[in-house]
Amino acid sequence: MKDTRSIDPTSLQMLKVAREEGLETAWDRYLAQRPQCGFGELGLCCRNCNMGPCRIDPFGDGPQKGVCGATGDIVVARNLLRMIAAGAAAHSDHGRDVTETLRGVAAGEIKDYTIKDENKLKALALEFGISTEGKTVQEIAGKLAEAALEEFGTRKGYLQAIDRVPSKRKEIWGKLGIIPRGIDREVVEAMHRTHFGVDNDPANLILHGLRCSLSDGWGGSLLATELSDVLFGTPRPVRGRSNLGVLSKEAVNILVHGHEPILSEMLVEAAKDPGLISAARAKGAGGINLVGMCCTGNEILMRHGVPVAGNFLQQELAVITGALEAVVVDVQCIMPALGQLAACYHTKFISTSPKAKFPGAIHIPFNEHNALETAREIIRQAIENYPNRDKNRVFIPEETTEYVAGFSVEAILSALGGTLTPLVEAVKNNKIRGIAALVGCNNPKVTQDYNHVNMAKALIARDVLVIETGCAAIASAKAGLLLPEAAELAGAGLAEVCRALGVPPVLHMGSCVDISRILTVAAALARELGVDIADLPVAGAAPEWMSEKAVSIGAYVVASGIFTVLGTVLPVLGSNVVADLLTRQAKDLVGGYFAVETDPFKAAELIIAHIDAKRSALGI
Ligand code: XCC
Ligand code: SF4
């Protein structure tokens, strides 16, 4: 029987090994959970106070209210707001760490990082109203970091990057009262409103959800992206290799997994250390092979072309190759299962963030102040571990696929010759029909990568330029869609543009916080055309999403005016009121709205229909 758990040949091979070895993975645990709780699936259970837990009967036979009297609509809306708040908090706390690092570098307290993109630093300073005249780079960085930290609890009443959006968008947000006032404030208010006995109006709750999500997209995530570029360099097109075949039979394999570039950048640096490379050789290894996974993998593949071993559902599979000396993690998307699994091999599971500890992990605290030394120590431990590798248990799939990534806004502009005009022209004359942003995770509810790859292919074939981030982009890397040669899979118009510019039809724009790059492009396109973001022939999709961060992303993309298709169901179907708000009324309120479509081909059709409707409204 065909194994439908993944379309990735390496995943399928590793799942076979897992079965032979009697090891469980997320797919097994997912099966063991089925049938999953119906109340949970519909969003109808509440644990917000200790008179509960309460659950609302979706069929109308059982209780229709919680102990406090909360209806299904209220419970669903509150639960959704909490999901958004958690997602926004995760992205924004990542942004805060990057901002703190910039502040420390500027103050001379942190010595292992430097400022790699002075132009971007100056451009951001101007945006924040900081004069650069007569100031040193350190001084500008200090002022910018202070201004950026201020965004988390700002008292000026709006976030700086809101000025990037067209005025029409700002007006819409202003009228609805959803201009985010401060990053932390919106998350705190979400928690307050969902505490017992506060906000019990579904629409009011959802509107705050949009505001909270906007503080992520145009706030926390945006700062994470922009200030990472300042510190680590703005990505430029770069070539590399992807999938589990990037693991080496001979070298010390170190997998870095998680999200923040602060750790992964330093590991990249330390892995080049000649002393450590000879230490690895002294242990009989061919060298040091640092590879990435998930979004921290995206960060270093965007900036350095570091090989990426896979996306979310491959984290356990990488361990099962038996070839990993260490899995090094920071925060987010790290399965707690890794500890037990790593113990079945010689693999060391190393946690580094005080915020994220795991059973079975060795904790090596990483902080910005002794970053390089800690990174070296981590690599040393991996090297020490190399002789413990049991060569008889090593199985590394052969497949690797090359990718070209690194499409920051700046890189796209420079490919276009400095302005967005050629892109706008290509859209106007229908060579490019529109743009679709495909983002988000893997989820064992979906055949791994099936939705990502098929949607991307269906869209480019119909001349829709696809831009991607996160695990979606890694899926495309593995499927060969990030290569300029993939233009042959594109429709004639898109293929012509790709060939003229030498770019792939699917552009990798980075990690999930880098969806802020997508927002920036959308806002700039709208300005160039003199319209609102909602008027653009543009759509979003999260074909295999699983995390709360993805919910926050979906919400800010919709709130920014962009139609978004979800490939797994949001737990809101227990409330017609909330479902209607998100899939219908949102269109009138903010221009963007959600659709749920689990079939990637139908989802692509929805996007194409949306793009065509926007084109004709624009008269192009
Ligand atoms: Fe995580 Fe960012 Fe989702 Fe992948 S795409 S599973 S959130 S790593 Ni962000
Ligand atoms: Fe039940 Fe209301 Fe308490 Fe929720 S807040 S657990 S619905 S009593």
205-251: per-residue pLDDT in tens? 999 999 999 999 999 999 999 999 999 999 999 999 999 999 999 99
* CATH architecture of the domain with residue range 72-232: Up-down Bundle (1.20)
Integer distance in angstroms from the first to the last C-alpha of the chain?
49
**Within this chain, domains 72-232 and 244-393 share the same CATH topology:** no
Using left for φ > 0, alpha for ψ between -120 and 50, and beta otherwise, residue 197 falls in: left
Report the alpha-carbon angle 497-591-468, nearest 5: 40
CATH for 408-618 (3.40.50.2030, 3.20.20.70, 3.40.50.720, 2.40.37.10): 3.40.50.2030
114-171: per-residue pLDDT in tens? 999 999 999 999 999 999 999 999 999 999 999 999 999 988 889 999 999 999 999 9
Q: What is the mean pLDDT of each run of 10 residues along the chain (620 residues)?
A: 96 98 98 98 98 97 98 98 98 98 98 97 98 97 98 91 96 98 98 98 98 98 98 98 98 98 97 98 98 98 98 98 98 98 98 98 94 98 98 98 98 96 97 98 98 98 98 98 98 98 98 98 96 98 98 98 98 98 98 98 98 98
Ligand 2 site residues (CB inside 6 A) read 46-49, 51-54, 66-68, 70, 75, 196
pLDDT for position 437: 98
Pocket test for ligand 2, best of 67, 71, 73, 193 (most atoms within 8 A of CB): 67
SS3 content of the chain, % helix, strand, coil (to 5): 55, 10, 35
- Residue numbers in the known binding site for [Ni-4Fe-4S] cluster are 259, 295, 333, 441, 471, 512
Residue owning the nearest CA to atom 7 of ligand 2: 66
Q: Where are the domains of the chain?
A: 9-55, 72-232, 244-393, 408-618
574-592: per-residue pLDDT in tens? 999 999 999 999 999 999 9
Residue type, 615: R
Which ranges in 43-71 belong to alpha helices (H)?
Answer: none
For residue 48, which ligand has an atom nearest its CA? 2
pLDDT for position 254: 98
pLDDT for position 120: 98
Q: Let me know if 20 is exposed, middle or buried by CB neighbors in 10 A (0-12, 13-18, 19+).
A: exposed
pLDDT for position 48: 98
Topology of the domain comprising 244-393: Rossmann fold (3.40.50)
**Cα–Cα distance measured from residue 182 to residue 35, given in angstroms and rounded to the nearest whole number:** 40
b/e burial code for range 542-551 (CB count within 10 A of at least 16 → b): bbbbbbbbbb
Report the alpha-carbon angle 303-522-178, nearest 5: 110
Q: Tokens representing 329? A: 């993690």
* Total residue count of the chain as it appears in this document: 620
Q: For residue 563, what is the enclosing H or E element?
A: strand 563-566
Pocket test for ligand 2, best of 45, 75, 192 (most atoms within 8 A of CB): 75
